[in-house]
Amino acid sequence: MYKFKFPDIGEGITEGKILKWFVNSGDSVKEGDSLFLVETDKVNAEIPSPVGGIVVSTKAKEGEIIYVGNVVIEIETSENALKSTSSLNEPIDKKSKAIDEGETAGVVGELEVSSQIIAISKEEKPSLEDESSIKVLATPVARKLAKDLGIDIHKIKGTGPVGRIMKEDIYLANEEKLTVSPVSRPSSTASPSILIPELKFAGEVERVPLSMLRKTIAKNMVLSKSVIPHASATDEIDVSKLVAFRTQSKNMAIEQGVHLTYMPFIVKAVTLALKDFPMFNASYDDKSEELVLKKYYNIGIAVDTPDGLLVPIIKDSDKKGILPIAKELSILSEKAKDKTLTLDSLQNGTFTITNYGAIGATSGIPIIKHPEVAVLGVGKIAKKPVVVENDIVIRDILTITLCIDHRVIDGGDAGRFLARLKSYLDDPVLLVLS
């Protein structure tokens, strides 16, 4: 009997709501067949079966909340059950089984959403030195499964022929990992728990349940404000040249099927500034008390959706031009609103931009997304009278706010970062040439 548990699919997801079952008790399933559709705070995903066999029972109803590590469904995987499942007949002897595993496509570590594969997030990868120095005998599907579940395959003892690591060994190791540490906990620097007084009301009220996304936003905001000591710096940038350049380029962009906004220019300018000031493209490791500088540039863009804020990521922004960034922004924004984003598009950001100017706000104080160390808030562009060479003229002014993690970044650093960002946005030709 195989007891399938809701897997840890990364990105801090610890629970989900079952939206739909694709199987019932008594149904035959093949490895890789979709078992149920789950709604998480990030995406809706179809969960595939890791084994083939006969469904004995389902342990949750549609609409019920399940948590990582919960047994969701039981599948009979005995020889008789497997034989009754057409097109899935795994041999009993271990040698044949090892060969079959290498050809198997369905893996619990992969979730299929909108025809795209969602990869398990992983903060750490085994070093090249470790991988090259230790030769591990394992089936291809076991290697893939270990990678997706974030398990070091070098630390697993195989039960197959000649010590070969099988997929069952990976599942067992994952279950042990979940038993020891089912949910990651905030840093020890977070504020201690406080007693929240009971709410009292003096009139009629209505209780509105929070969506899963809104609950997660609430938890993340508490984590960020509890762990990260925020400081902020605000400045105004004359973007008159940028406004003129964008106006001249809009028609050309439309001919290429791209809606050109100001955000691609800001993303590019931020990326260049991050290269000049690497400490802003980093994370602070509380345990080792080290600043981890990231050599890749993944810019998160906060998107306002009916359910709450999502932050899809522009990956490798340093390797992309203005128009490719603009096109990707449009696609990610639509997917965020349609809830068709994949987990991969929400993972591994290094710096975040939030554009409250899109809804008409001039300025604001954004909150840093943990474990990043800075966030940029962008207001609306407004025409203002300014003094240029002793003359009062009307210019296009953009108000920006930079919030920093004051443990590792000081006000002077913030001021220099803003000055560099200002220089890039003041002359859009620099952005295009870069």
Q: Which residues contact 347 (CB under 8 A, 6 or more apart)?
A: 10, 11, 121, 313
Q: Distance between CA atoms of 344 and 347, rounded to whole angstroms?
A: 5
Catalytic sites, residue numbers: 406
Tokens of 32: 């890789």
Tokens of 325: 């960034």
Contact predicate 41/213, CB 8 Å = yes
Q: Which phi and psi (to 5°) does residue 6 adopt?
A: -60, 120
Q: How many CB atoms lie within 10 A of CB 63?
A: 10
Contact predicate 362/400, CB 8 Å = no
**CA nearest neighbour of 360 among 389, 380, 339:** 380
**CA nearest neighbour of 278 among 262, 291, 259, 265:** 291
Q: Which phi and psi (to 5°) does residue 102 adopt?
A: -65, -20
> Scanning the structure block, which residue is given the tokens 């940038």?
237
- What single DSSP character describes residue 153? G
Query: β-strands 290-293, 351-355: how paired?
Result: unpaired
Q: Distance between CA atoms of 212 and 210, rounded to whole angstroms?
A: 6
Q: Residue 353: which region, alpha, beta or left (left: phi > 0; alpha: psi -120 to 50)?
A: beta
Angle at 408 between CA 42 and CA 401, to 5 degrees: 65
- What single DSSP character describes residue 170? H
- What single DSSP character describes residue 212? H
